[in-house]
Structure 1
Amino acid sequence: MSTTTLHNLEAVLSRHELVGKGSFGEVFKGIDQRTNRIVAIKIIDLEKAEDEIDDIQQEIMILSQCDSPFITKYFGSYLRNSKLWIIMEYLGGGSASDLMKAGPLEEMHIAIILREVLRGLDYLHGELKLHRDVKAANILLSEHGDVKLADFGVAGQLTATISKRNTFTGTPFWMAPEVIKQSSYDFKADIWSLGITAIELAKGEPPNSKIHPMKVLVLIVQSNAPQLDGEFTKPFKEFVDICLNKDPQHRLPAKELLKHPFIKKAKRNYLLVDLIDRYLNWKLEKVEVENSNYDEATLSSMSTIPDWNLTIKEETRENSDTIITNNEEISNGVLNSLCDILDNLNKTDTDLKNAFKASESSCPGICDNFVHKLVKTLQPSISDRRMEEVMEKIRTESKIMPNCDILFDQL
């Protein structure tokens, strides 16, 4: 990872308000004092992100190699003690996911956003790069309506000789079937994710968003491809169908999808500015309401504080009985709440076990892979004795994982 070490980093880059959280750190709005340019500063504590170092390196490598108006620009990275500062282009219009918080998007706006994302994917794929996490939250906009792909924490590089990957990466709801099955996949996996993103932009959420992610993985593999239903135009629905063909061989590449009638008729980017203004106004109003509610709550709590009374009184039997009764009521309330919580936990535990069984049935070996990664992540942070307890628990209960003992011997 090529970075510059600066001890007087604050003199070069002034950090302002927190604007979000990325894959592995917090993102701040800041100013590069050397150029007076507004930038986004992603600050990562490498000591806390030890397990993600490879992914951080991957994000920096991909960003540093990209030069496209449809990809977020990378300006450099700086190391100060254990903190890594990644300096990127600041896009103040929010994400496509943010825009939907202020209200639904019109088809006209969706077409513009998808066209710009396709241009970004066409560039990436031409550079033998996969994004592998295309979704509305990773599509950023400037205040002027520029649309750019962002968040390359899981992006992948293909080579001319190794043209397909087989790693299990992405966000479940947007994952292509071939990625879930861990079979070889290529650029067409991004096209599937784009199709899911199109439905997300139209409906406000991806298909199956109310279902547990582990169950969704099974559904994506075993069920028919999602479709865009509702009152949308025929070209839009056809575009989604082309992206969501379960056979990647029949999915069109980004370059061909740019010629689709739905995309070809997309209007100029400036039409997104009203949408961005709507979101920024909504965001401002939300902050004002929250501040107002906080002030009212503070005043209310202050007005109910009784005057100091330092007179010491002997506690009567009557007062004592009242206290006991109140304590019993509180205890009963706590017990009832705990029972409700335990019931929910038991239900969640059962749902999770069923989801694992369904996943293993659909994709043999996926649970072994999952537990292997989980245990490797836990190892540095818990004691050997506790790790043995965790392993023994999994050995006892994971009949769905035939290779479990082999896995633990390796660890």
Structure 2
Amino acid sequence: MPRFKEGIPYWVKGVLLGCGSFGSVYEGISDKGFSFAVKEVSLLDESSQGKQSINQLEQEIALLSQFEHENIVRYLGTDKDKSKLYIFLELATKGSLLNLYRRNNLTDSEVSAYTRQILHGLKYLHGGEVVHRDIKCANILVDANGCVKLADFGSAKATNLNDVKSFKGTAFWMAPEVLNNENQGYGTPADIWSLGCTVLEMLTGQFPYSPLQPQQALYNLFSGVPPTISDDLSEDARDFIVKCLQTSPSDRPTASELLGHSFAKMSLPTFSG
């Protein structure tokens, strides 16, 4: 896959792929016919939200430019004009896991395969003392070969061996210690809690803490009460999620340890004919 330098000599903006709080994502097409994803934010927005979007994108560029792993979305370069800042990323044509499970019910073996790849990505990040801080299906992409890509690093933080203390993430996937850190900080186990919520999300097709009202869900989270795990899930899946959703961060396994769990080692069924 091409790795561009600061910019691409010539490229055109294609279809809109999605929108977020930071701005928009489009398909980009280079003059060589290569397709990629383009995140853009306005440089003209003087509001606090606009400045935050630029800061998040610059932080994402700084982190992604250091990463080299098959389960982390590949950074390809940047560009800028008078009004916009752009970041070029590899294009994951199947979209997010959120889109996948909304289109089709995912089987245990499919969720296991995706979970295994998420764990490999987290193992790589955590080995470099980086906390993603916003693991959820909407931020995990899948390419045409079914390869998972951790994405959206606008909230990610290099801990530099010190616990992260700022409030970042998406509420219903957020670990209790992020809400209750009381200046004690938090680290990589926060991503493991979010992973448990993400696996639950893939298997049930619902956000964690559904169908509670947001206020009750946040109260449970603040109190360290994990989302309900359906009895309909397999024993392996339930055990995996329970291990992730331990209230005490020190009780949660690491990504490396979870790769040895039976749920993360399931084989996809084979078909003949």
Q: What TM-score comes out, normalization by structure 1 length?
A: 0.60
Output the amino acid matched with 1:39.
F
User: Which residue is 1:109 aligned to?
Assistant: 110
SS of the aligned residue for 1:200 comes to: helix
Deviation at 1:54, TM superposition (A): 2.1
Deviation at 1:227, TM superposition (A): 4.1
User: What's the Cα RMSD here?
Assistant: 2.0
The equivalences for 1:11-410 within 5 A come to: 12-33=10-31, 35-48=32-45, 49-160=50-161, 162=162, 164-182=163-181, 183-222=184-223, 224-267=225-268
Aligned-residue sequence identity (percent) comes to 36
SS of the aligned residue for 2:76 comes to: strand
Output the amino acid matched with 1:124.
L
Distance in 1 between residues matched to 2:52 and 2:262, nearest whole Å: 45
SS of the aligned residue for 2:65 comes to: helix
Output the amino acid matched with 1:77.
T
SS of the aligned residue for 1:62 comes to: helix
Q: Please list every run of 5 or more consecutive structure 1 residues that lacks an aligned counterpart in the other structure.
A: 272-411
In terms of Rg, which structure is larger? 1
Alpha carbons 2:224, 2:247 under 8 Å: kept: no
Deviation at 1:127, TM superposition (A): 1.1
Deviation at 1:229, TM superposition (A): 1.5
Q: How many residues align?
A: 261
User: Which residue is 1:279 aligned to?
Assistant: none
Output the amino acid matched with 1:195.
G
Alpha carbons 1:227, 1:240 under 8 Å: kept: no
Alpha carbons 1:172, 1:213 under 8 Å: kept: no
Output the amino acid matched with 1:258.
L
More strand by share: 2
Distance in 2 between residues matched to 1:223 and 1:133, nearest whole Å: 18
Distance in 1 between residues matched to 2:215 and 2:153, nearest whole Å: 23
Deviation at 1:223, TM superposition (A): 5.2
Alpha-carbon displacement from aligned partner over 1:20-74 (angstroms, at most 9, x marks no partner): 12441111112222x5321011121122222333222111111111110000000
Distance in 2 between residues matched to 1:223 and 1:124, nearest whole Å: 25
SS of the aligned residue for 1:28 comes to: strand
SS of the aligned residue for 2:231 comes to: coil
Distance in 2 between residues matched to 1:168 and 1:223, nearest whole Å: 16
Q: What TM-score comes out, normalization by structure 2 length?
A: 0.89
Output the amino acid matched with 1:40.
A
Alpha carbons 2:41, 2:53 under 8 Å: kept: no
Distance in 1 between residues matched to 2:251 and 2:167, nearest whole Å: 22
More helix by share: 1
Alpha carbons 1:41, 1:86 under 8 Å: kept: yes
